[in-house]
């Protein structure tokens, strides 16, 4: 139907913004990888705050645990009036043992537990106005910088098949083509999945991202002076690696993907696709 004059329907967008700012957001991210790969530093760099405690800090009673243990910390951060409840789940002990068979089991168990929690809340007769969301929205998998590590495709395969829960990867390595081939060979589907591209614009944007996966990143939480500006970087004897400089590493790509452009999309796919397929499986079980 043709509108003959201004009505004010578009004001609904502002209404939505106000509502969501009041409600706040939840975001749950998981980092998977062997110890020493820089997971904690990366998370701190991403969110520009001391979200994770680093395992390598001296004086801490941190020893590599004998089994994979999942460790979640929740913080509240605020920017431009937007409040975000951020939960980071760490996986110390992953891939660190001599025998790493099935080291992904605790991870999958955790992911499914979160889906189960949400499902239970959803089927209650009297349910909460806002169901607390602890489901993992994104899993960042750190591939060691050696180019290949024992059986990592196996791990990713297990993660992306079970629960359909995981399948997002950005990692830290220079041997890009080899890894991309490996991933394809094992039919591992990573975020952003091609099936969920909604329109040509989306597809173009996501194709560019898919080309670059896995991202080669460097994390740092110390600032240095470079050309009169203060930048985050790692100081080495041969120069300062600027973390946020796209010419030095692909950290900006990771950050933009995760936070600035695709955060809502990650949550939507978790809710509409992965959670739904968990629910179907669970309800068909009986």
Sites for another protein among residues 70-89 (CB under 8 A): 74-85
- For the record, the structure tokens of 65 come out as 């645990």
Q: Contacts with another protein in 89-128 (CB under 8 A)? A: 119-120, 123-127
- Taking the least distance from each CB to another protein, the nearer of 6 and 238 is 6
R_g over Cα of the chain? 20
CA distance 268 to 204: 20
Contact pattern for another protein over residues 173 through 212, marking x by CB under 8 A: -------------------------xx-------------
Closest to another protein by CB, 89 or 100: 89
Q: Which of residues 157-176 bind another protein (CB under 8 A)?
A: none
Residue 7 or residue 98: which is nearer to another protein going by CB?
A: 7
Burial environment of residue 8 by CB neighbours within 10 A (0 to 12, 13 to 18, 19 or more): exposed
| Of residues 23 and 64, the one with the C-beta less far from another protein | 23
Binding string, residues 27-66; x marks residues near another protein by CB under 8 A? x------------------xxxxxx---------------
Choose between 71 and 147: whose C-beta lies nearer to another protein.
71
Q: Do the Cβ atoms of 242 and 233 come closer than 8 Å? A: yes
CB under 8 Å to 33, separation ≥6 — which residues?
39, 91, 94, 95, 141, 142, 143, 144, 171
Indicate the DSSP class of residue 225: E
């Amino acid at each position: 139907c043709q509108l003959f004059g201004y009505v004010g329907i578009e004001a609904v967008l502002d209404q939505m913004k106000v509502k969501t700012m009041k409600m706040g957001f939840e975001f749950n991210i998981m980092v998977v990888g062997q110890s020493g790969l820089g997971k904690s530093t990366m998370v701190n760099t991403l969110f520009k705050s001391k979200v994770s405690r680093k395992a390598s800090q001296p004086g801490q009673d941190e020893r590599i645990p004998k089994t994979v243990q999942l460790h979640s910390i929740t913080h509240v951060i605020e920017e431009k009036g937007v409040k975000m409840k951020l939960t980071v789940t760490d996986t110390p002990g992953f891939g660190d043992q001599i025998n790493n068979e099935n080291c992904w089991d605790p991870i999958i168990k955790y992911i499914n537990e979160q889906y189960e929690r949400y499902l239970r809340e959803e089927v209650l007769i009297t349910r909460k106005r806002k169901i607390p969301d602890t489901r993992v929205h994104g899993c960042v998998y750190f591939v060691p910088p050696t180019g290949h590590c024992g059986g990592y495709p196996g791990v990713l395969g297990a993660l992306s098949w079970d629960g359909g829960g995981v399948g997002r990867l950005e990692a830290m390595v220079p041997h890009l083509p080899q890894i991309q081939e490996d991933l394809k060979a094992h039919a591992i589907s990573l975020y952003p999945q091609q099936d969920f591209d909604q329109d040509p614009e989306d597809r173009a944007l996501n194709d560019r991202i898919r080309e670059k996966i896995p991202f080669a990143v460097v994390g740092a939480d110390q600032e240095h002076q470079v050309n009169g500006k203060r930048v985050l970087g790692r100081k080495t004897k041969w120069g300062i690696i600027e973390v946020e400089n796209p010419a030095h590493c692909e950290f900006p790509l990771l950050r933009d993907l995760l936070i600035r452009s695709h955060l809502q999309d990650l949550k939507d796919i978790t809710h509409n696709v992965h959670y739904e397929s968990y629910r179907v499986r669970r309800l068909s079980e009986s």
